[in-house]
Structure formats: structure tokens, C-alpha cells
């Protein structure tokens, strides 16, 4: 091997060595730099230099991660077994802690979300799971955010997607809803009867004070009956009319 070949080979190695030192990080990426195994600094975005052999770099994505929390078997406080799954939104806010404080922050966050989901929902009854999802989402998000803060993770939101019930529980809920509708219908009917009785009482009090109004009401009723074209009409006579007729007959007999 001649001298020119050796020089060319050395130059090629130097060029490759220098080229490997340049790294390009995108706007949403950061590089955690370790120098001889010790943390040095966080670099990026843009063009950065990493000294080969002496320094190493770990890329960290700062974008929000959407993670599906697998379906979890949960036993509610009223001893109802359900399957619940959720979706988790989080992002890295401190690349240094996300790499140094936990081995794999994605896996750690997923496992923590699963256990927290079971723990929080197990403290509530089934009706609360179905009707108060916003509150439960907020409670779970707050707990996760506090626990992942040491890892440099920010949990932005948690959404419960599905609460799956078995067939027997679905039928029981349907029966409960039907019974509730019947109860409301009976209450509304009873309130209507009460209001009607109050109005009838007020009307009777007015008619008692004004006998002429009773006579007018009586004539109006007869008019309505006659308008229906019935073949047979039972004609009731008021007691006042009979009393007046009896007095008239008595006067005629005295004469």
C-alpha cells in the first residue's frame, strides 16, 4: 500500500468522523447529550454537533402523544363489574428528566394510567361513571399529572371513551329507566288532579256566592247537550226551581 492510498484512507476516515458529529433536530425535537456517560446539556432544534465516542445523544419528541388506555376491568363501589377504556393526551416538557428519571416514559405513563383508571373508578358507583364523566376525567387527569411531573411529563387531558356493561346489567338499567318514567308520569298526573281540584273548589266558591251564575252555567250545559243531537235527553231540574214551583202551587191552593 503506497503513501497516497494511506493518506486517502485517513482523510476519508476523518471526513466520516466529522460528518457523524453533525446532527439535525427538527423544531419539535430536542437532543439530550451525555458526555462520557454523564448528562451534559439539552440541545436543539437545528444543527448541533455531537463529538463521536465522547458524546452520545438521545432524541426526545416534544409533541403531544395520544395514547389509548387498554380496556380495564373495574368493580364499582356498588359492586358492578364493567369494562372501561380511555384515551390519554400527554407531552414531554422536560427532556432531561424524561430520559434520566424513568427508563421508558411512554410505557411508564401507560401503566400508571391503567392503574389510576381502575383506582379512581372503583371509588364511584355505576351511575356516577355514566353521568359524571367530566368530573371523573378531571380527577384522573389531576392524579396522573401530579405523579408524572417528576418524569418531566405533562398530562393535558384524559377522556373515558366507553363503559361496557354486561347484558343483564343493561336490562336492569332499562327496567330502572322505565320505572322512573312511570313514576314521573304518575307524579305529573297527580299534580294535574290537584290543580284541577283547586280550580273546581274556587269555581264552587264563586258559584255559591252568585246563584245567578249557577243558573247561567246550567243553561249553558243544556245548550251543549241539545247541540249534540241526542235522541234522549235527561233533563235535570235544580232544587231551587222545584222549591219555587212548590211555593207557587201552595199559594194557588190557598186561594
Whole-number Å distance between alpha carbons of 255 and 243: 19
Question: Are both 93 and 142 inside the same structural domain?
Answer: yes
Residue 184 lies in a domain: no
Whole-number Å distance between alpha carbons of 75 and 87: 20
Question: Are both 80 and 142 inside the same structural domain?
Answer: yes
Question: Are both 47 and 74 inside the same structural domain?
Answer: no
Residue 7 lies in a domain: no
Is the bond into 45 cis (omega within 30 degrees of 0)? yes
Is 129 within 8 Å of 121 (Cβ atoms)?
A: yes
Residue 173 lies in a domain: no
Among residues 126, 146, 165, the one where a domain terminates is: 165
Per-residue pLDDT of the chain (255 residues; tens, 9 = 90+): 567 787 778 888 888 777 778 889 999 999 999 999 999 999 989 999 998 889 999 999 999 999 999 999 888 888 888 899 999 999 999 999 999 999 999 999 999 999 999 999 999 888 888 888 899 999 999 999 999 999 999 999 999 988 888 776 656 666 766 777 788 888 888 888 888 888 877 776 766 666 656 566 666 666 666 666 655 656 555 555 556 556 666 666 665
**CATH assignment at residue 156:** 3.30.479.30
Across 140-174, b (16+ Cβ under 10 Å) vs e yields bbebbbebbeebbbbbeebebeebebeeeeeeeee
Question: Are both 75 and 55 inside the same structural domain?
Answer: no
The label of the residue with cell 298526573 reads 189
Domain that holds residue 38: 16-60
Question: Are both 70 and 160 inside the same structural domain?
Answer: yes
Question: Are both 54 and 114 inside the same structural domain?
Answer: no
Secondary structure of residue 84 in the 3-state scheme: strand
Strand 29-35 to strand 38-43: parallel, antiparallel, or no bridges (unpaired)?
A: antiparallel
pLDDT score at 110? 94
Helix axes 105-121, 133-148, angle to 10 degrees: 140
Question: Are both 69 and 159 inside the same structural domain?
Answer: yes
Among residues 60, 84, 114, the one where a domain terminates is: 60
The label of the residue with cell 252568585 reads 210
Question: Are both 99 and 146 inside the same structural domain?
Answer: yes
Phi/psi zone of residue 58: left (φ > 0), alpha (ψ -120 to 50 degrees), beta? beta
Residue 210 lies in a domain: no
pLDDT score at 141? 95
Residue 140 lies in a domain: yes
Question: Are both 80 and 137 inside the same structural domain?
Answer: yes
Task: Concatenate the DSSP letters of all residues of 140-205 into one string.
Answer: HHHHHHHHHGGGTEEEEEEEEEEEE--HHHHHHHHHHHHHHHHHHHHHHHHHHHHHHHHHHHHHHH
Which one, of 26, 23, 42, 45, lies nearest residue 34 by Cα? 42
Among residues 32, 60, 88, the one where a domain terminates is: 60
Residue 138 lies in a domain: yes
Cβ count near 76 (within 10 Å): 19
Torsion sign over Cα 31, 37, 39, 40 = negative
Amino acid at each position: 500500500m503506497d503513501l497516497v492510498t494511506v493518506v486517502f484512507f485517513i482523510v476519508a476516515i476523518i471526513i466520516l468522523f466529522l460528518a457523524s458529529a453533525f446532527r439535525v433536530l427538527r423544531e419539535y425535537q430536542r437532543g439530550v447529550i451525555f458526555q462520557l456517560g454523564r448528562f451534559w446539556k439539552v440541545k436543539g432544534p437545528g444543527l448541533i454537533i455531537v463529538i463521536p465516542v465522547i458524546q452520545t445523544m438521545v432524541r426526545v419528541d416534544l409533541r403531544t402523544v395520544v395514547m389509548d388506555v387498554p380496556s380495564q376491568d373495574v368493580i364499582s363501589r356498588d359492586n358492578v363489574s364493567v369494562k372501561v377504556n380511555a384515551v390519554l393526551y400527554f407531552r414531554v416538557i422536560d427532556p432531561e428528566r424524561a430520559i434520566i428519571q424513568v427508563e421508558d416514559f411512554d410505557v411508564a405513563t401507560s401503566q400508571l394510567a391503567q392503574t389510576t383508571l381502575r383506582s379512581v373508578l372503583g371509588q364511584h358507583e355505576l351511575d356516577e361513571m355514566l353521568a359524571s364523566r367530566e368530573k371523573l376525567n378531571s380527577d384522573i387527569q389531576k392524579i396522573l399529572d401530579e405523579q408524572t411531573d417528576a418524569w418531566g411529563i405533562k398530562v393535558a387531558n384524559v377522556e373515558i371513551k366507553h363503559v361496557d356493561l354486561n347484558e343483564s346489567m343493561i336490562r336492569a338499567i332499562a327496567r330502572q329507566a322505565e320505572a322512573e318514567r312511570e313514576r314521573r308520569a304518575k307524579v305529573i298526573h297527580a299534580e294535574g288532579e290537584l290543580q284541577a281540584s283547586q280550580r273546581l273548589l274556587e269555581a264552587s266558591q264563586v258559584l255559591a256566592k252568585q246563584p245567578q251564575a249557577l243558573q247561567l252555567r246550567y243553561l249553558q250545559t243544556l245548550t251543549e247537550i241539545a247541540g249534540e243531537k241526542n235522541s234522549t235527553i235527561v233533563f235535570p231540574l235544580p232544587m231551587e226551581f222545584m222549591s219555587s214551583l212548590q211555593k207557587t202551587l201552595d199559594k194557588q191552593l190557598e186561594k
